[in-house]
Structures are given as structure tokens and as C-alpha cells.
Amino acid sequence: MDSSEHPSASNLPLDRLVAHALSELEKLRYSRRSLRRYRTVWEHLVRFAREENLSDEYSEHLAARFVDAHRLQNGEHFKVNEEWRRHIPFLVTVLGDFARNGRVEHTRIDTSKLQVPAAMQKSLSEYEQYARDRRHLRASTLHGRMRAIVVFLDELGSRNVTSLDQLQPADVAAFVVSRGRMCPRSMSRTVSDVRCFLRFLLLRGILRQDLSPVLPTVRVARDATIPSVWEPELVERLLKAVERSSPRGKRDYAILLLASRLGLRLGDIRALTLDDLKWDTGAIEITQSKTGAPLCLPITEEVGQALIDYLKSGRPRSAHREVFLRAQPPFTPFADDGRFYSIVKYWRELAGIHFRGKQHAGLHSLRHTLATQLLREQTPIHVISEILGHATTASTMIYAKADVESLRAAALDTEEPRHGE
């Protein structure tokens, strides 16, 4: 929606502002479930403003009061009928953006609905081939990079830029502005992807000038975010909730153990093959999908029993060499972009696990939890790096944010091997 359609959105009464915003979401074809979530939060905001005798117009003060009033208190958990509170901070921000700009920006974009101008499709295809053959990007990485380019080209089309040789600095700048609500890390990734594409166009002579300098440098500190970790007792509750008499339960239990006990990355679990299980030496030997470096981890008794139980009594008969297969016919391996999030979510909800605040709760968070637990046990940093398959200890240091005091002790321990030399 063009902002000119709502020149005075910020001055509308709150209930009318909400009605206009919901109408915009419907035009953008948001799902019924999403619409219900937005409507619930915004209607509570209107009711809150009336009950507190606050302004009948949207304001940052009103938004802050509303968010603060519904924040989880220490020891509190969301009740079944109050799950909408979980989404308050983000959805109130969306309404604030609509009040200022008269439009709603998609945070998750369905690329199947995007349209790349016909004159740009050949260059897009050539860049994809270039990224695959010359830059040697993995399939999952390439998918994410191309997604950003498709979003960029779709927006150019909406600005009536029909061919890439028409591209101007103002068009590039406008795209960056339209992504303004992205978090720094996502913005940095998007800007980097578009910059590489623009340089490719210059290399091929499609652009006459280098437009990549128009893009800003988005700096994201290596340790800018705190890894999401579980309390140890919650991990144990999750594992105990897995019903291991079914093929699915046997599979999921083994997957969860590989992440929480050995710290394997999602991609490495997904790609794990029967040949990677070295039963004679009691080890898992893989080439890491992220770094390409070899990694050898011991098959502990707990992990070994879970794997054997799944392989003997849960895994379907198949010619596929991947260890983990889908539980429903045709029993194929998981796709390269499979996240396993539904596996964690299913057993977490069955276990009745709730977190005190917002955090990641997928398979990768179990890897984070293992690293943090090792720090608490004063495991030397270089040992944790080896377990996690990090190329350097610098990557491991981010877990210090979850347990600073343990890091101080562990950092001292890294000197011990040197004393023995």
C-alpha cells in the first residue's frame, strides 16, 4: 500500500487504525491464523488504552505501557488462553510502523508469489549458475542467497524497473530502505547478497557503473547475540518425554541425543550416513557440512544404544545410506533445507516445557546448551572447540555470554597443555 493512501494514519482513532491495518493484512493475503493473532493483540491494545484512560491515538508511550503491562514476570508462564501475549512486542511494532508509514512490510516473504521481470530472468539464472560453479556454494546456502536476489528483483519490478541496465543508485538505496525493519544480522546478509549480484552484473557488462558502493556496510559484532540455551533439567525433561516404543520416537530420540549430547549441527545430523558410524572404533566420523573439515566424535553408550535401537527396530528398510529417514512412505531422507524444528517442538509441547522469555528452541539451541554446560563444568575452551567442530576458539567464545564466570575458569585451563610441553 502506498503511504499516500493513509496520509493521516497516525492521527486516526486507535480502533480505526487497527481496522485499516487489518484490511491491509488481508490485501497482503496473510493467513487466517496470522490475522487472528494480529487482531487479538491489537484489540487488546485498544481495550488497554480505554481502561487506562490513555490517548485514543497510537503513540510510542501507549505501546511501551502496553508491552510492559503484559510482560512475563519472574516464574510466570504463558497460560493456554494467553499465548497471544508472546507476540505483543513485534505486533505492536508492526502497528506503529503502519501508523507512521501507512503500510505493512512482510517480514517473511513467500518467494513463490514474487515476480522477476522477464528481462531480468536470464541474468538471474546465469548468476545462480555462477554462484554454484565458481563460488562453490552449497545447495542450502545458494537457496538463501538466491532468495534475497529474487526479493530485490521483484521490488525493482514494482518500481517500474523492467531491465537491469536501467538500474540506478536510487533504486538500490530504495531497496535498502524498504528492508529497514530487518534485524542487523539479516540486513547484513541481504546487503552482502545484493552486493555480490551487482558486482556480477558489472563483470558481465550489464551495468556500466559499480552500484555496490551504494549499499551500506552493516556491521554485526561476532558476539552480538546471546545463544539460546535450555536449563539442564529442561533438556532431560524433553528427552524423557520422547515415546521410544514407536519408530518415530526412536528416530527422534536419537536425533535429539546427537544434538544435546554430542553437539552435532543440524546439517550434519541430516546428512549422517550409515558409513559414518564406525562401530569398530566407537566413533562418528564425518566431514562437516558447514566447514568441510573432518570431525570425529565418540559414540557414547547412551547415544550408541539409541542409534542401535532406531537402526534395528525403527528405521524403515531402504537403499538410502542416510541414517535418518522420514517416518512416512516413501521413507526418503530429509531435504537439504529440513530444519527438524517440528521434531523438537512436538516433544517439547508434549513435555509441557515453557521458557521464561523469548528464545530459540530448535535443534541448534540444544547444541548451544551443550557448549554452555561444558563451560560450566570448566571444560577448556580448546576442548569445547574440538567437540563442536569449530575452526578456532574464537567461534566458541560466544558461549561465554551464557556463563561468564565459567569462561574465566575455563580460559585459565587452556594454558595447562602448554605447561606440560
What residue has cell string 536425533?
A: 255
* Domain range enclosing 195: 111-214
When mean pLDDT is compared across 50-54, 119-123, 127-131, 376-380, the lowest value belongs to: 376-380
pLDDT at residue number 329: 86
Is 207 found in the same domain as 252?
Answer: no
- Provide the domain count of the chain: 3
Is 373 found in the same domain as 245?
Answer: yes
Is 384 found in the same domain as 251?
Answer: yes
Active site members = 265, 290, 364, 367, 390, 399
Domain end: 158, 187, 214, which one? Answer: 214
Structure-model confidence comparison of residues 197 and 80, the more confident one: 197
Is 64 found in the same domain as 41?
Answer: yes
Is 307 found in the same domain as 188?
Answer: no
Most confident of 86-90, 236-240, 332-336, 369-373: 236-240
Domain end: 101, 124, 151, which one? Answer: 101
Is 323 found in the same domain as 266?
Answer: yes
Residue 354: inside a domain, yes or no? yes
Is 406 found in the same domain as 265?
Answer: yes
- Given a cut of 60, whether residue 198 has pLDDT beyond it is yes
What pLDDT band is residue 415 in, cutting at 50, 70 and 90? very low
Residue 268: inside a domain, yes or no? yes
Q: What is the arithmetic mean of pLDDT over 170-185? A: 80
What pLDDT band is residue 122 in, cutting at 50, 70 and 90? very high
Is 360 found in the same domain as 319?
Answer: yes
Read off φ and ψ for residue 60, nearest 5 degrees: -65, -35
What pLDDT band is residue 130 in, cutting at 50, 70 and 90? very high
Average pLDDT for the chain: 82
With contact defined as beta carbons under 8 Å apart, do 201 and 164 qualify?
yes
Is 264 found in the same domain as 119?
Answer: no
d(CA 103, CA 189): 24
Residue 373: inside a domain, yes or no? yes
Residue 115: inside a domain, yes or no? yes
pLDDT of 74-99, one tens digit each?
666 666 677 778 778 888 888 888 88
With contact defined as beta carbons under 8 Å apart, do 164 and 206 qualify?
yes
Is 264 found in the same domain as 291?
Answer: yes
Structure-model confidence comparison of residues 292 and 222, the more confident one: 292
With contact defined as beta carbons under 8 Å apart, do 381 and 393 qualify?
yes
Angle, in degrees to the nearest 10, between helices 139-158 and 118-133: 160
- Given a cut of 80, whether residue 223 has pLDDT beyond it is no
Which set of grid coordinates corresponds to residue 208? 556500466
pLDDT at residue number 241: 95
What residue has cell string 549430547?
A: 261
- Given a cut of 50, whether residue 419 has pLDDT beyond it is no
Is 166 found in the same domain as 258?
Answer: no
What residue has cell string 547415544?
A: 303
Q: What is the arithmetic mean of pLDDT over 7-19? A: 78
Residue 106: inside a domain, yes or no? no
Domain end: 214, 243, 275, which one? Answer: 214
